[in-house]
């Protein structure tokens, strides 16, 4: 048996709230109610709702603000706004905030029914669209750049422009941000997309193996010979991962390949022309590497002409729900499991994590969660225990004040990780900025 559709009614007038509850319950909906902003937030954190019906005027806040906060808690919740005045300005404000539709007091239940039916038809189409996207993720290109945040949109536009040139590119970013993925995107969007894309890890040791991999080894009776990546790539793209790890001698050979478009195989005496585009990546500060004498200045300037910064995951948190869907689709197919999504609580937890390992760490976390998941949706208990303090030990005390301090510390740490700007963090914690700084000092939090 399917679960009934769930509705949250946020209305401060008790008689209207009760009437809504009785009518919608009679229509087969599961209904919960709230009389103000605080109650509505508490209900939304406890349960997921298909629909929220929210009055614009509430005793402790603005219904439009409630709308935004409800959708931050669960992006799958659709909102109908109740207003006493059907003005164009009210409607525009509601729609801009993300409302599906609005109702005018006194609410006519036939009108409410029609709008709910239309809302659920749209919601089903939306969910079907999400399902199709997951199917594409399972069977499609595993090298898709996933996300629709403003940060990622700007990065895509930069990639589009750079791809149309033949310039060498330097990708800078933390480990796990997907630099090779973006390098492949540049290759695919450019005029060399029909040619080879070959990658090499510049940290490969011993050096002789790395150089023969890059520049090739001569042929002869005592040698099997190999052309090397630069020759094998032809007019395609060579991706040099962690270029800062190249030994100085190898850097000189790379500089020759860039400046003169020629290479000499290891142990060889004849040069060969090469024409591949170079995309390099680094997690290190190349300016500092040059200053410390670990990286050739001429090579640095050759690579640094077109530099693209790949943002860490904490700067594109809005992409996490889409990334979660993508990785669930990928790993559930590989493991043969029917996991179709994650609960809203799980997504909220994932959006609050530190993500030192960025997208790679999120991918690994979802892979582990799919292994542990027994149902159709990933739940918080399926996540790695060390993520966000899930499964952290209880404070070793029966004293309530010590226990509260323990959880206060965890909660403020989580909010500060998600919102490094202290003013924004204080706002979300409902604290004054000076109070937040006192809490940080009192609790001994490390920033």
* Least confident range of 30-44, 63-77, 172-186: 63-77
Q: What is the mean pLDDT of the chain?
A: 84
Confidence of residue 241 (pLDDT cuts 50, 70, 90): very high
DSSP, res 111: H
Whether 138 shows a pLDDT value over 70: the answer reads: no
Mean pLDDT of 244-259: 94
pLDDT for 136 equals 54
User: Is residue 339's pLDDT more than 50?
Assistant: yes
Identify the pLDDT of residue 220: 47
Three-state SS at 262: strand
| Least confident range of 154-168, 213-227, 237-251, 336-350 | 213-227
Q: Across residues 268-276, what is the average pLDDT?
A: 88
- Top-ranked range on mean pLDDT: pick from 21-35, 37-51, 130-144, 386-400: 21-35
Whole-angstrom distance, CA of residue 434 vs CA of residue 2: 50
pLDDT at 140: 42
Reported as a single tens digit per residue, the pLDDT across 156-211 is 999 999 999 999 999 999 999 999 999 999 999 998 989 999 999 998 888 888 99
Token look-up 């490094």 returns 420
- Look at the block and give the residue holding tokens 């801009």: 96
The answer for residues whose C-beta is within 8 angstroms of residue 207's C-beta and 6 or more apart is: 247, 249, 250
Q: Is residue 3's pLDDT more than 60? A: yes
Which tops the pLDDT comparison, 422 or 324? 324
At 1, is the pLDDT very low, low, confident or very high (cuts 50, 70, 90)?
A: very low
CA-nearest of 231, 143, 219 to 195 is 231
Crossing angle of helices 344-351 and 320-335, in 10° steps, is: 120
- Tell me if 279 sits within 8 A of 186, measured CB to CB: yes
- Cα–Cα distances in angstroms (integers) from residue 119 to residues 77, 102, 293, 398, in the given order: 11, 11, 63, 49
Q: Is the pLDDT of residue 333 over 70?
A: yes
Give the global pTM. 0.60
């Amino acid at each position: 048996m399917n679960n009934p559709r769930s509705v949250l009614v946020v209305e401060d007038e008790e008689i209207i709230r009760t009437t809504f509850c009785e009518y919608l319950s009679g229509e087969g909906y599961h209904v919960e109610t709230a009389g103000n902003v605080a109650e509505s937030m508490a209900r939304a954190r406890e349960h997921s709702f298909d629909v929220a019906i929210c009055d614009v005027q509430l005793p402790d806040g603005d219904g439009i603000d409630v709308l935004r906060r409800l959708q931050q808690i669960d992006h799958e919740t659709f909102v109908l706004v109740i207003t006493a005045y059907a003005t164009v300005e009210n409607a525009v404000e509601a729609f801009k905030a993300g409302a599906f539709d609005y109702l005018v007091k006194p609410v006519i239940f036939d009108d409410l029914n029609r709008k709910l039916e239309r809302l659920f038809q749209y919601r089903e189409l939306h969910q079907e669209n999400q399902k199709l996207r997951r199917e594409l993720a399972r069977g499609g290109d595993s090298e898709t750049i996933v996300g629709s945040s403003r940060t990622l949109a700007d990065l895509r536009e930069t990639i589009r422009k750079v791809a149309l040139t033949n310039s060498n590119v330097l990708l800078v970013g933390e480990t796990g941000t997907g630099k090779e993925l973006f390098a492949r995107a540049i290759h695919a969007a450019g005029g060399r997309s029909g040619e080879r894309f070959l990658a090499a890890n510049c940290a490969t040791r011993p050096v002789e193996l790395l150089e023969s991999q890059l520049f090739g080894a001569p042929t002869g009776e005592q040698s099997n010979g190999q052309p090397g990546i630069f020759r094998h790539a032809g007019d395609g793209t060579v991706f040099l991962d962690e270029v800062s790890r190249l030994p100085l001698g190898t850097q000189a050979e790379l500089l020759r390949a860039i400046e003169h478009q020629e290479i000499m195989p290891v142990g060889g005496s004849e040069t060969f022309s090469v024409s591949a585009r170079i995309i390099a990546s680094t997690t290190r500060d190349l300016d500092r590497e040059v200053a410390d004498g670990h990286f050739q200045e001429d090579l640095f300037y050759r690579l640094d002409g077109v530099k693209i910064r790949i943002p860490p995951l904490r700067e594109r948190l809005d992409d996490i729900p889409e990334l979660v869907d993508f990785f669930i689709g990928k790993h559930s197919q590989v493991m043969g499991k029917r996991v179709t999504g994650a609960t809203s609580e799980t997504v909220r937890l994932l959006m609050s994590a530190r993500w030192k390992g960025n997208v790679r760490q999120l991918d690994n976390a979802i892979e582990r969660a799919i292994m542990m998941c027994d149902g159709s949706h990933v739940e918080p208990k399926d996540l790695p225990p060390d993520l966000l303090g899930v499964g952290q030990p209880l404070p070793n005390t029966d004293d309530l004040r010590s226990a509260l301090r323990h959880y206060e510390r965890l909660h403020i740490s989580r909010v500060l990780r998600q919102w490094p700007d202290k003013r924004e963090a204080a706002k979300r914690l409902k604290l004054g900025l000076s109070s937040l700084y006192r809490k940080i000092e009192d609790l001994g939090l490390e920033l």
